[in-house]
Amino acid sequence: MKKKPHFDCVALIGIGLINSSLARVIRRDSLAEKIIGCSRSDATLEKAKKLNLCHSYTTDVSFAVEGADLIVLGVPVGANKQLAKIMGPALKQGAIVTDVGSVKRCVIEDVKPHLPESVHLIPAHPVAGTEHSGPEAGFEGLFENRWCILTPEETADPDAVEAVKNLWLQAGMQVDSMDAYYHDQILAITSHLPHLIAYNIVGTAYDLEVVNESEVIKYAAGGFRDFTRIAASDPVMWRDVFLNNREAVLEMLGRFSEDLSVLQRAIRWGDGDTLEELFSKTRDIRKGIIQAKQV
Site for its own copies in 185-244 (CB under 8 A): 185-187, 189-208, 210-211, 213-233, 235-236, 238-240, 242-243
Number of residues that bind its own copies (CB under 8 A): 97
Residue 37: alpha-carbon gap to chain centroid: 19
The answer to whether residues 244 and 111 touch, using CB atoms and an 8 Å cutoff, is: no
292 contributes a contact to its own copies by CB under 8 A: yes
154 contributes a contact to its own copies by CB under 8 A: no
109 contributes a contact to its own copies by CB under 8 A: no
The answer to whether residues 34 and 55 touch, using CB atoms and an 8 Å cutoff, is: yes
Is the CB of 43 or the CB of 267 nearer to its own copies?
267
The answer to whether residues 12 and 54 touch, using CB atoms and an 8 Å cutoff, is: yes
From the list 162, 219, 153, 159, the residue with the least C-alpha distance to 181 is 153
169 contributes a contact to its own copies by CB under 8 A: no
137 contributes a contact to its own copies by CB under 8 A: no
Name the minimum Å distance from CB 184 to its own copies: 11
DSSP state of 153: -
Q: Rule CB under 8 A: choose which of 66, 157, 162, 176 binds its own copies.
A: 176
Name the minimum Å distance from CB 235 to its own copies: 4
Name the minimum Å distance from CB 273 to its own copies: 9
Distance CA 189, CA 129 (A): 16
Name the minimum Å distance from CB 84 to its own copies: 20
Backbone CA torsion sign across 76, 73, 125, 169: negative
Residues 38-77 that bind its own copies (CB under 8 A): none
The answer to whether residues 237 and 78 touch, using CB atoms and an 8 Å cutoff, is: no
263 contributes a contact to its own copies by CB under 8 A: yes
